[in-house]
Each structure stands twice: as C-alpha cells, then as structure tokens.
Structure 1
Amino acid sequence: MKTLNESLPIAVPAAAPARRMRMPSFNALIGGLLVAVLLAMALIGVFWTPYDPLKLDLIHRFQPPSWTHVLGTDEFGRDVLSRIIIGARTSLWISLLTVSLAITIGTLFGLLAGYLRGWTDRLLMMVNDALLAFPGMLLALGLLAIVGASQYGIVLALGIAYIPTVVRVVRSTVLSLREREFIEASRVIGNSELYTMWKHIAPNCVAPLIVLATSMFGWAILSESALSFLGLGVPPPAATWGNMLAASRPHLATAPWLGFFPGLMIAIALIGINLFGDALRDRLDPRMNR
C-alpha cells in the first residue's frame, strides 16, 4: 500500500535555460585585429624601427621592395617601412589627442546645454550651430591658417571642428534623461544640480560617446592625412602617411610603392576602425539588441 507521500506527484523544477554565449561578430574580429595591428605598429615605433626614418642614403634612392628594404626606399634613400611605422605612431597620437579634446569639451558643453536649458542652452547651441555651418575640413583649414601647421595645431584645429558633433550627441542624450524618475529622485533627496549631472547623467552618456569616439578616431586619421597631403599637416622631414603620399606624387610612374604602401595603411586603418566601431555600436546601443 502506497503511503501519502508516495502517491503525490513530486514537482521537479524545470532546468534553467542555458545562457547563450554571445559570439563575437565578424566586424568585431576583423576590426579588432586590424586595430590591434595598428596599435602594435605604433608601440613598436616608439622603441624600434628597422632603419633610421630620417637618415639620408642617396646611393640607394628608389630601391624597390627587397629583403634589405622590405617596402623599398624613397627619393632620399630613406626606408619606407621605417617611415610608415613612425607615421602610424604620429597619426594615432594626433587622432587620440584630437578625439580626447573633442570628447572632453563637447561633453561638458552638451551636459550644460541639455540639463540647464534656458538661456544657457540657447547661447551654447547658437555657437554650436554656427560652427556646424562650416564643413569640418574647411573649419580646420581656417584654424590651421591662424595657428600654423604643426602637430598640435592639427589637434587644436580638428578638435574644435569635431566639438559641435559631440555637443549635439550629448545634449540629445541628456534631454532624454533629465525628466526620468531617478533624476527627479536625486533632486528630491537634496542633491545639487552639479552632483546630479556628474553622478547620474554623465555615466549614461558613456555608451553613445564610445561609439562616437570610435568613428571620430577614423575621421581624425583621414583628416590628418588629407591636411598633411595638402602641406598643412606635420611639416617634413617628420613622417606621416599623408605627407608620404604627397611626396610620392612626382614619382608614381617610376616608384609606385612610394604611394601604394602609405595609401594602403590609411585604408587598413579606416576599415579596421569602422568595423570595430560598428561592433561597438551593436554591443552598446540598446536599440540594436534583439
């Protein structure tokens, strides 16, 4: 005879569904690999290059790629690979400083405009819209004509040109957050406006800023190369990908490697950063999550 406990069915809890691991996407893998190669090249260039990138060797001018000079030599006998490595360091450093300047100042102005509203918002956005009326490259060219062509002149010019875009993104994010319940709760318990902006609103702007900063990094590399190509970037004999392209123009028929390899590095940098930025957007933007 069955007892009461034996006759009653025993409820077995259902097994929790296994958490699905998120596999890295193709964009993340390829973009991360290309960005890692660029960073490694820039770091190696700080400590070592195959040859002195500034040393002239007129006897070995226009040497094609070989085991001695993997990417050949230029019109002054300088090793192209060494100059490309130094150019990677210069381009990445300028882009990093440019993005840092634009993100820092643009975030501050965007927070003030979106949170304080009123005349502060109107005044800041009036200046911001005036800057947005100029194309970024044209504004950078005008600023470089004032401050002069140099490494930090490019950083200042491009940083100011990119600030209005950051202000727009941060302001729109703040406007969507300032009326939320947790912001009202922060005001109710007596927190100051500055504390509320710093503690509760600024952290919620990080995700869109990371995606924007990644895109701006690619813009900065391309703009720096374009300015150097036009002769308004880092002055020679310092090596950048842009001024290497500019110097190769008279010799493309006889020494095509002088223009091919710097152009290839610019293309690889832009592809890698754009793919990596797309992967970050898919990861951080809640609208992209299914």
Structure 2
Amino acid sequence: MTGTATAAPSAGHRWRDRIPVVHQLRQSVGLQRGMLVTGLVITTVFVLTAIFAPLLAPYGYNQLRGPDGLFGAQQPPSPEHLLGTTVGGYDVLSRVIWGTQTAILVIIVAVALSIFAGVFLGLVSGYLGGWLDRVLVVICDAIYAFPSLLLAIVMAIVISGGQSNLWGGILAAAISITVVYIPQYFRVIRAETVRMKAEAFVESAKVLGASNPRIIFRHILRNATRTLPLLFTLNSSEAILTLAGLGFLGFGIEPTAAAEWGYDLNKALSDVTSGIWWTALFPGLAIVITVLGITLVGESLNDLADPRLRGRRRVAQAAGEVAETSVVPGGTLDAGPGGLDGLEDGETFDEHGIEVRQ
C-alpha cells in the first residue's frame, strides 16, 4: 500500500510535465517565473478575446450605425462608445477586440506553414546530406537575407493588388512570414538531425532494415522538434508586427473585410496632430501588449531551455537554503550539499552528503 501511495504522485507529475509550458513553469524561480506567468496571462487573455470576440465586442467591426443612427466620426469616449470612434465612424473598442481574431489567424496560418516546410526540409537535408543538403543550405541562407516587411508588401501587391480582403491580407502576411521563417526552422531541425543520425538508436534502426522515411519520421522527428515551442512563440510576436506594419503602410486588410490594428493606426495619423488621441492609442496598446506577452513567454522558455542558466538558478536557490539552515545556533544541517530539494528534482542525499540515485 505504501509503494502504491508514493508512486501515484510521481506518475501524476510525469503526466503534468507532458503538458506544454507546465514543466518549464515548475522549473522557473523568482523573476523568471514572474516573467513567464505574466506572459502566459497576457497571451491567454489575447487568445480568449479572439475566441469570444463576437460576445465581447459591443458592435461589429464594420458597423457604422446603431439604434439611434450613425455613430459619428471621431467621437470621444462615452458610455455608448467606451473608447470613442474612429475617423471612419467605427467603434474603437469593437475594432480592437475584433482585431485579435485577425492577428491570431495570421499567426496560425504563417507559423503552421513555416513549421511544416522548415521541419520537413531540415529533416531531409540533415539526414540525407550530400548535394541536396548543400543546395538547401544556400537557398535558405539567401532567403534569410530578405526583410520580412518588404516581402510582405510585395506579396500583398501580387495577391490582391494592395487592396486586401480578409483572406487576401492574411495570406499576404502569412506567406511572407512563412518564406522568411522557414530558414529558422530549417537550421534548427537540420542541426538536430545531423547530430542524432549518428546516435545508437538510429544505427540500430538501420541494422534492423528500417527505411529512411521510417527512421526520419518515426525516430528522429520526435527528438528533433523539442525546441519548436521556443521558435513558435518568438515568431508569433513577429507575425503580429509584420501584419501591423503591412496595414500601417496601407497594404493591409480593408475595414469592411476585417478589423486590423495596423490599418487603424494608419487612419489615426492625422488625428494625433489634432489632439484626438483615442483613435491611435488603443490599437497601439493592443499591439504592444500582445507582442509583449508573447515575447515574455518565448524569452522565458528560451532561457529555461538553456541548462547552464537553469543550473545556476538551482545552485543559487540551493545555496540560499543551505545557508539559512546552517546559521541556526545549535542546529543541525539536515539539507545536503544540494539544498533541501537538490540541484535537480528527485535528487536525495544521505547523512554524509552523498547523492543517492533511485
């Protein structure tokens, strides 16, 4: 009964550690945990706002008229329009809320396409090598030199002549981001594939007669994609900035097709010089806060993925705990040299300070 009772919590911990970000959250301490939690809260609010936008927004993204008639242009914040109205007569709060849906659609399309193409090319290039590897490396290095915003403008003109509907604007931004970010995923996956194809488990699969596709997608793929959540979060924030830049330059999505923060900022330029601050402030804050939240998550995960930085935090935390227990007059040092919890989860020490491996 005792063995069963102690084994159940460890199994539960293993199950929870498989959930994305949960393991990193348990590893984080101090300021790093605060940054990660803050980023997760902001990102969660952003996602929930996009999902429930039809329920949260008081008006439609292209609605100009209410029960009492037209909203009116550049109306200051009031009980009817909490954040005022734009120069085009749209409700600012509704445009900001509906803009989360456009932003999250671009993130999903762009990053999904980038991951699919980059991971596939990285696996094939790193495992097969030879002339194919050299050609793909040269092409990806050349593509990486293109500015994403410039490529987005070109794609917007090619796809929709600069006058984008919802899916035209999303595809214009998503395709440009996809092309630019493929080399990032390609480099990471290729490096991991080159390293792992010399491992024993790959050699064993070859001896057993496994085909190259089976080895690549069954054995290497699972181990080579562990760092993808880091790139996903960092690239998601860049996708929002690219979409906003595209709309700010006048190549974004038309207001009758969807709400887009960059387009609203473009139309609010003349308002700022006239003292009308609400038409530009709130779309700008939406961009800054959303990008900040996603970036905090990405940077925190990137920091926690570095074993050297994570180890230093564990050592510092353990050293503080040892010092706290050792200065008590007449007390005994019950914590081992690794601190109360050890330098890593699950480590225990005997009375002589020797690690006991379980």
Please, what TM-score do these two structures have when normalized by structure 2?
0.71
Give me the whole-angstrom Cα distance separating, in 1, the residues matched to 2:243 and 2:87: 23
Q: What SS does the corresponding residue of 1:222 show, helix, strand or coil?
A: helix
Shift of 1:223: 0.5
In the alignment, which residue of structure 2 is the partner of 1:16?
A: none
Please point out which of 36, 39, 53 is paired with 1:31.
39
1:264 equivalent to 2:285? Answer yes
Alignment length (residue pairs)? 273
Shift of 1:98: 0.5
Shift of 1:61: 2.2
Give me the whole-angstrom Cα distance separating, in 2, the residues matched to 1:30 and 1:169: 27
1:275 equivalent to 2:287? Answer no
In the alignment, which residue of structure 1 is the partner of 2:3?
A: none
Q: Residue 230 of structure 2 contacts residue 301 of structure 2 at CA under 8 Å; is this kept in 1? A: yes
Give me the whole-angstrom Cα distance separating, in 2, the residues matched to 1:235 and 1:77: 14
Q: Residue 28 of structure 2 contacts residue 304 of structure 2 at CA under 8 Å; is this kept in 1? A: no
Shift of 1:48: 4.8
Equivalent residue runs for 1:1-290 within 5 Å = 22=27, 25-57=33-65, 58=70, 60-148=72-160, 149=162, 150=168, 151-237=170-256, 238-252=258-272, 253-286=274-307, 288-290=309-311
Shift of 1:161: 2.0
Q: Residue 208 of structure 1 contacts residue 285 of structure 1 at CA under 8 Å; is this kept in 2? A: no
Give me the whole-angstrom Cα distance separating, in 2, the residues matched to 1:35 and 1:115: 36
Give me the whole-angstrom Cα distance separating, in 1, the residues matched to 2:94 and 2:208: 60
Q: Give the partner amino acid of 1:95.
A: I
Shift of 1:138: 2.3
Compare 205-214 and 275-284 and name the one that shifted more: 275-284
Deviation per residue, 1:56-97 (Å, 9 max, x gap): 244532221222211111123321111111111101111111
Q: Give the partner amino acid of 1:67.
A: P
In the alignment, which residue of structure 2 is the partner of 1:6?
A: none
Provide closer, same or farther for how the CA distance between residues 155 and 59 of structure 1 changes in structure 2, counting only shifts above 3 A: closer
Shift of 1:276: 0.8
Provide closer, same or farther for how the CA distance between residues 156 and 29 of structure 1 changes in structure 2, counting only shifts above 3 A: same
Q: Residue 140 of structure 1 contacts residue 161 of structure 1 at CA under 8 Å; is this kept in 2? A: no
Provide closer, same or farther for how the CA distance between residues 233 and 61 of structure 1 changes in structure 2, counting only shifts above 3 A: closer
**Sequence identity (%):** 34
Q: Which has the higher contact order (CA 8 A, sep 6+)?
A: 1
Provide closer, same or farther for how the CA distance between residues 193 and 278 of structure 1 changes in structure 2, counting only shifts above 3 A: same
Deviation per residue, 1:161-205 (Å, 9 max, x gap): 221221112111212211112211221222111111111211112
Q: Give the partner amino acid of 2:270.
A: P
Q: Residue 50 of structure 2 contacts residue 104 of structure 2 at CA under 8 Å; is this kept in 1? A: yes
Give me the whole-angstrom Cα distance separating, in 1, the residues matched to 2:280 and 2:85: 12
Q: Residue 207 of structure 1 contacts residue 284 of structure 1 at CA under 8 Å; is this kept in 2? A: no
Q: Give the partner amino acid of 2:181.
A: Y
Q: Residue 125 of structure 2 contacts residue 132 of structure 2 at CA under 8 Å; is this kept in 1? A: yes
Deviation per residue, 1:237-286 (Å, 9 max, x gap): 32101101011011113311111101101000111001111232244454
Q: Give the partner amino acid of 1:61.
A: A
Q: What SS does the corresponding residue of 2:61 show, helix, strand or coil?
A: coil
Gaps of 5+ in 2: 1-9, 11-25, 163-167, 312-358
Q: Give the partner amino acid of 1:138.
A: L
Give me the whole-angstrom Cα distance separating, in 1, the residues matched to 2:48 and 2:146: 36
Give me the whole-angstrom Cα distance separating, in 1, the residues matched to 2:64 and 2:184: 43
Q: Give the partner amino acid of 2:39.
A: G
Give me the whole-angstrom Cα distance separating, in 2, the residues matched to 1:84 and 1:165: 31
